[in-house]
Amino acid sequence: MGNVNKFLLVWNTPFWNPDLQYIGFTPQTKGKFNYFLNVKRFTTTNALMTFAFGDYATLTESMADDDIIYEIVGHLQSIYGNIPNPTNMLRTKWGQNINSFGAYSYATNGTTTEDFDTLAKEVNNKIFFAGEHTNRGYRGTVHGAYLSGIREADKIIAL
């Protein structure tokens, strides 16, 4: 199970180009807020979403919101200079979630594509498995989870 956490930060007004979809940043620490999705491009909300991956994602789960905001704003200040602090932040802590203990399936060394097919195999036509981890072609994605749900629903309907 891999870990990734999302951080949605909201401002009163955008200080970034609202026409950009992504803003990239190269941090010194691997997995530490290395790109930003411009939510304003798709909504009326003045917000950026950033991510923490892997070991750094796990570390963020024990960090206070103010410390997270400080780190993220520091990256953005490296790009834009002096910017205001956000008015709000929402965040995930997938590694601590007792229902998942992570955010997505992660193919480690030695994993084969057949392993994902194995996870998708039904048991005696009574227990069916859906989720991104059961979709060989789209593992680790929301659309993979969605498509696997359709796949399993079709199997059940066909019974």
Note the CATH architecture for domain 113-157.
Orthogonal Bundle (1.10)
* 93 vs 113 pLDDT, higher one: 93
* Assigned CATH for 4-96: 3.90.660.10
What's the mean per-residue pLDDT of the chain? Answer: 91
At 112, is the pLDDT very low, low, confident or very high (cuts 50, 70, 90)?
Answer: confident
What's the Cα-to-Cα distance from 155 to each of 94, 96, 130, 143, 159, rounded to whole Å?
Answer: 30, 33, 11, 18, 7
With the CA atoms of 31, 32, 35 and 38 taken in that order, what torsion angle do they form, in degrees rounded to the nearest 10? 130
Q: What is the pLDDT of residue 94?
A: 87
Where in the chain are the domains? 4-96, 113-157
Both tokens assigned to 31: 């997995």
**24-50 residue pLDDT tens:** 988 888 889 999 999 999 899 999 999
Q: What is the mean pLDDT of residues 75-79?
A: 95
Of the given ranges (13-17, 21-25, 97-101), which has the lowest mean pLDDT? 97-101
Percent of all residues in the chain with a pLDDT value above 90, rounded to a whole number:
67
Residue 9 has pLDDT above 90, yes or no: yes
Q: Would the pLDDT of 68 be above 70?
A: yes
Q: For residue 106, give the nearest of 145, 132, 143, 142 by alpha carbon.
A: 132
Q: What's residue 1's pLDDT? A: 67
CA nearest to 32, candidates 5, 1, 66, 65 = 5
pLDDT 10s digits, 124-159: 999 999 998 899 888 878 888 999 999 999 999 999
